[in-house]
Amino acid sequence: MVGMGTTVRAEPARFFDGGAGEEPPRRDRPPRIVLERRAQGDQEVFALLRRIGYADRHLGDLVVPADVGTSTTDLTSVPSVFAWLVPRTGRHLPAALVHDALVADADEPAYLTAQGRQVDRVEADRVFRDAMADTGTGVVRRWLAWSAVTLATLVVAPRVQLPWGAVEGWWRRGVAVLSLLLIAWLGWCASWDLVDRSAPLAVPVPWVPEGEWLEELAHGAAGAIVVPLLLGLLWGRFRMAGAVLGVGLALLLHVTVLVGVLTLLYRGVEAVATRVPLLAGAVVVGGVAASVVLVLDALV
């Protein structure tokens, strides 16, 4: 991948005002992000009412969107359980808006280039990572975000946006999905191994020895780093994404599951409160009453 092994020095001036309507881009002006909120069913999207320009180190000037007012974005596409790591908006927003336009699945490109060059999905992901660096986004956050969009490229991107054929695409997709599933399963096994309990599909892992709990925890954490790094090598040119996602999944597995469970619980409560308010009220009253009884029982 172009630029994978290089360190990008932040250059905020690479972003510039892309103009609006017949107004031409202005390299001497900072970008102005003007969004209009629109609803598409249950999804919240935004239309860009002014273009954003970005001077990429390899592709030259990129201006998005090509058609002001019709192209929409959901800002930074992040599942809700990971929003605490990479929020939908923030310092990285200009880079996310550029990336959204570069990967838009449309009949015509949603971006403008000086030479009318087509940008494939892999190159768009690289632009995203470099552009995040130019916005001053932290190193960890931008590599997490780049790894996430790279996974989307490998797994769900339309084939017409990819610089490889169908067979290679299926190979890359299989390696990515199976390696992450393997890491999740090993994390499941290691978790039960740490507490010396059995569970469905759980087997002892060789890097967690019998001993003091802190010693087992240290070995478990070491395995959560080493094993994903080794599996990441199977990703080939995308090994950095494989390593980042694998280690992140292994180390944050329990946090992610907890946040996911709490998110589902919240959505369930919200749905009940909206559709059956009387039942929701009864549940709240019952929960408070039960809590009072338990506290009094403990005190007495």
> How many CA atoms are closer than 13 Å to the CA of 148, on its beta-carbon side?
20
Closest by CA position to 246, among listed 191, 194, 176: 176
**pLDDT class of 79 with cuts at 50, 70, 90:** low
Residues 151-161, mean pLDDT to the nearest whole number: 92
Would you state the pLDDT for residue 155?
Answer: 94
**What pLDDT score was predicted for residue 110?**
86
Sketch the domain layout of the chain as residue ranges: 12-159, 166-256, 268-299
pLDDT digits (tens, 9 = 90+) for 248-271: 999 988 888 888 888 888 888 888
Nearest one of 71, 70, 72, 30 to 52, comparing CA atoms: 30
User: Could you tell me the pTM of the whole model?
Assistant: 0.84
Residue found under tokens 């992450």? 180
- Could you write out the DSSP letters of every residue in 84-143? TTS-SSSTTHHHHHHHHHHT---SS-SSEETT-----HHHHHHHHHHHHHHHT--HHHHH
- Share of residues in the chain with pLDDT > 90 (%): 56
pLDDT number for residue 80: 64
Task: Say whether pLDDT at 81 is over 70.
Answer: no
What pLDDT score was predicted for residue 1? 41
